[in-house]
Amino acid sequence: MSTLVSSSLASPLSLLQIETQFGDRIWRGDALGSSPDQVVSSGFNELDKALPGGGWSTHSLTELLLPAEGLGEIRLLNQSLKYVTQSGRNILLINPPHIPYMNAWENLHIDSRRILTVRACKPAERLWVIEQGIKSGAFGAVICWLSDANPQAMRKLQIIARTTASLVFLFRPVSAQFEPSAAPLRILLSPARRHTLSIRLLKRRGTPVVLPIYITLPQIRPFSSPVIPIPILAPA
Amino acid sequence: MLWIALHCPTLSLDWIERRFPAALIPAMAATVRKGNQVYIQQANKPAQQRGVMAHQPLASALSLFPDLVVVENDPNEEMKALQEAAYAALRFTPHISMQRSGLIAEVSGSLKLFGGLKKLCQSLNQAAAAQGLQLCVGIAPTSKGAWLLAQSAPLRAVINGASTRFRLLLDSLPIHLLESAQPHLEVIRGIGCKTLADLQRLPRSGIARRFGPDLPTELDRAYGDSPDPQLWLEVPEYFQQKIALMAQVESVELLSVTVQRMIEQMCGWLSVRYAAVLGFSFVLHHEYSLRQPHKSTLLNIRLSEQSDNPEHLMILLRERLDRIKIVAPICGLELIADEITAEGNHNLELFPTSQSEATSLNRFIEKLSCRLGPQAIAGLNIIPDHRPECSQRLQPFQPLEASKANNFSCRKTILEGSSHPLTRPAWLMDTPLELRMQRQQPIYGSPLKLLAGPERIEAGWWDDALITRDYFIAENELGQLLWIYREHDPIAKSNGWYLQGLFG
């Protein structure tokens, strides 16, 4: 102890020396945080670049704030969910807002036989199901639509999520952005133009991002026939 | 050979105390009849605090504390309690021999699996003690030796004679522990023998002539100088355990200790039969009377995958117990292993594999269906039908096996057919939602703009659920993509627009 003090008094280490000495154990606040955990690529280059570690990180919560369903949230997760089922793991959907239409999910190359849906009406039960789903370690991805969760519950979920290598996505309403949350990654989704999603990273490990990221979702293939004018819609 | 003996000095009270919920144990004493006098044999803590002591005549005990619950010595019930403890201990070794007031287990084959003698002894002791017995433990290279050491140990203590000190420890034990010396204790004490060492020093032939041949044999067996054949505990073909409670219980929480014990017994029984349980029944027996016609409540618990893990079975049972309504006070419990399978070779795995993941998935499903009901949890099965309402069906989730997953690619082509995939939304409404109209334009949040369409789906003439619809993709100002349709009916020209799904 005394030698350490005397040496540091004699000649304080320069920043460069400190960095070479301690190497990867130091994380500089202005750099993008790297994730020690395994990540799953989101399939969108612009988004991967902005996410710590270069993709959706396992072992932690990802909060997606969504103003309404049908904005392309499933297409956003498409690549990672496809990866999960193709690597032989299952997906747990807790309280999906509507019935998932498996034909469409199959079109996105997500194996519908690996999707398990759970309906839990009470908020306490919902949290319990998420906990059990993460703890069981049987799912590659746990996705929950969580309208209300207090910060304590989120903290608990985050601690549990640290234990297993699952992707955990929580879809929450936009109003939740003003509540504190223990999730290390919080993303606000909003539509920009048609087939474009604006992504604002509210919170991430690393420097904050001010500007939203725009990603182009895979186009929904139009019907084989071209759009024909609809006479009924024209004002009479 | 290595033996662990568990001696239960307070068995005559333990068998009855374990039938009470822990909070409701009254002051009790066990009695024994000597001639025409009844004496207190043992008294429990609350009774001792009132001044009731062992060897007191019953009359003086009752005069000290009139509300004393008196239990007559019942060797049958004692044996039953011991047997239940033995069942729980069977998880650690299949070789258990029953004694009058304890168990002796041969453990040399289990040392490695359970992490050494110390850990094994601890877990064995805990398993038996969890059955509501107070134990003393002796460890020795001979069964008789272990039994004598256990008898000499103070309550809840362990005497380890598995070392070179074994003979020294045995030498110092008092004579009265030997079973065959009981009728001759006075004489033996009279000739100046106090310990086993003193007895060992006397000439063999003389001991045999005076006290019968059993005494030197017992001595030799204790020291390991002569063979000691054992009668092992044999378990029945079927498992059905019934416990009569000594109190009327109306809360499930008070039962949890008893339930845990029964589950432990079943798991011990399973491990001896090298089996696992697929389904079991749990019966709550009620006090039957004319006013109260409910005789029993039956809980059937089925597992999606065989299990012999007490914690897992306990979780399932507890989830069920928490949900039921207790119609009448419970006076008895019964556990029956209905469906048994030979256990698959479950290896302990270092890293999670698809096999262990499938097991944990099954556990997850079981746990959920126990708490939320089986209908809360489902997978969706695709049915080849063009009508969105009929194109999938909720069904119990079947975990996919690795072998089946391989034909994923060929299944894809079947699903898709030869043509390109159809455009379908990720979300379907429970029932199509009729959209409000404003100036003949459908509205969902804001007026809708049609992007693509129509696609006509006309199907179902064969099962009276005919639909003829023109589907469009529409967008509202928020940016939601909607899948809407209009009935195509040339005769009844209805103009209603319906929302069927959302493109996620």
All structural domains of chain A with their residue ranges: 45-219
User: How many Cβ pairs within 8 Å bridge chains A and B?
Assistant: 194
Interchain pair B367, A133: CB under 8 A: no
Separation between Cα atoms, residue B415 and residue A207, nearest integer Å: 45
B107 three-class SS: coil
> With 70 as the cut, is the pLDDT of residue A197 above it?
yes
Q: Does residue B358 or residue B144 have the better pLDDT?
A: B144
Kindly give the pairing relationship between strand B158-160 and strand B275-286.
unpaired
Separation between Cα atoms, residue B191 and residue B185, nearest integer Å: 10
Q: Which chain B residues contact residue A117 at CB under 8 A?
A: 377-380
**Candidate from A5-19, A173-187, B86-100, B357-371 with smallest mean pLDDT:** A5-19
AA letter at A1:
M
Separation between Cα atoms, residue B138 and residue B104, nearest integer Å: 9
Interchain pair A115, B377: CB under 8 A: no
Topology classification of domain A45-219? Rossmann fold (3.40.50)
A-chain residue closest to B363, CA distance: A136
Separation between Cα atoms, residue B278 and residue B489, nearest integer Å: 54
Q: Which chain B residues contact residue A220 at CB under 8 A?
A: 423, 473, 481, 503
Instruction: Calculate what percentage of chain B has a pLDDT beyond 70.
Output: 91
Separation between Cα atoms, residue A27 and residue A207, nearest integer Å: 11
Q: How far is A178 from chain B (nearest CA, A)?
A: 21
- What's the token pair of residue A99? 């019935």
> With 60 as the cut, is the pLDDT of residue A9 above it?
no
Interchain pair A101, B428: CB under 8 A: yes
Structural domains for chain B: 78-234 (no CATH), 240-346 (3.30.1490.100), 427-502 (no CATH)
Residue B425 is nearest to which of A101, A112, A128, comparing CB atoms? A101
Separation between Cα atoms, residue B349 and residue A190, nearest integer Å: 44
Disruptive mutation site among B364, B393, B448 for chain A (greatest number of A CBs within 10 Å): B364
| pLDDT averaged over every residue in chain B | 85
pLDDT tens digits along A146-171: 888 888 999 999 998 988 888 999 99
Q: How far is B394 from chain A (nearest CA, A)?
A: 9
AA letter at B31:
T
pLDDT tens digits along B214-236: 999 999 999 999 999 999 999 89
Residues 6+ apart with CB under 8 A from A120: A94, A95, A126, A128, A129, B372, B376
pLDDT at residue B341 in the model: 85
Alpha carbons within 13 A on the beta-carbon side of A190 = 11
Residue B450 is nearest to which of A106, A118, A233, comparing CB atoms? A233
pLDDT tens digits along A98-120: 999 988 888 888 888 889 999 88
Phi-psi region of B17 (alpha: psi -120 to 50; beta: other; left: phi over 0): alpha
Residue B298 near residue B343 (C-beta atoms within 8 A): no
B185 three-class SS: helix
> With 80 as the cut, is the pLDDT of residue B203 above it?
yes
Beta strands of B383-480 (E only): which ranges? 392-395, 427-434, 436-438, 441-444, 446-447, 449-459, 467-475
For residue B402, CA distances in Å to A84, B37, B306, B382 come to 14, 73, 19, 20
Phi-psi region of B33 (alpha: psi -120 to 50; beta: other; left: phi over 0): beta
Residue A233 is nearest to which of B361, B441, B479, comparing CB atoms? B441
Lay out the sheet containing B69-72: strands in order across. B37-43, B28-34, B69-72
Residue A116 is nearest to which of B381, B397, B439, comparing CB atoms? B397
Nearest residue to A232 via CA among B181, B437, B466, B465: B437
Q: Does residue B340 or residue A30 have the better pLDDT?
A: B340
pLDDT at residue A7 in the model: 46
pLDDT at residue B3 in the model: 93
> With 60 as the cut, is the pLDDT of residue A69 above it?
yes
Interchain pair B450, A129: CB under 8 A: no
Rounded to an integer, the average pLDDT of B415-435 is 75
- What's the token pair of residue B234? 């044999």
**Candidate from A14-23, B201-210, B296-305 with smallest mean pLDDT:** A14-23
Q: Which chain A residues contact residue B415 at CB under 8 A?
A: 103, 106
B-chain residue closest to A122, CA distance: B372
Q: Does residue B368 or residue A9 have the better pLDDT?
A: B368
Beta strands of B317-376 (E only): which ranges? 330-342
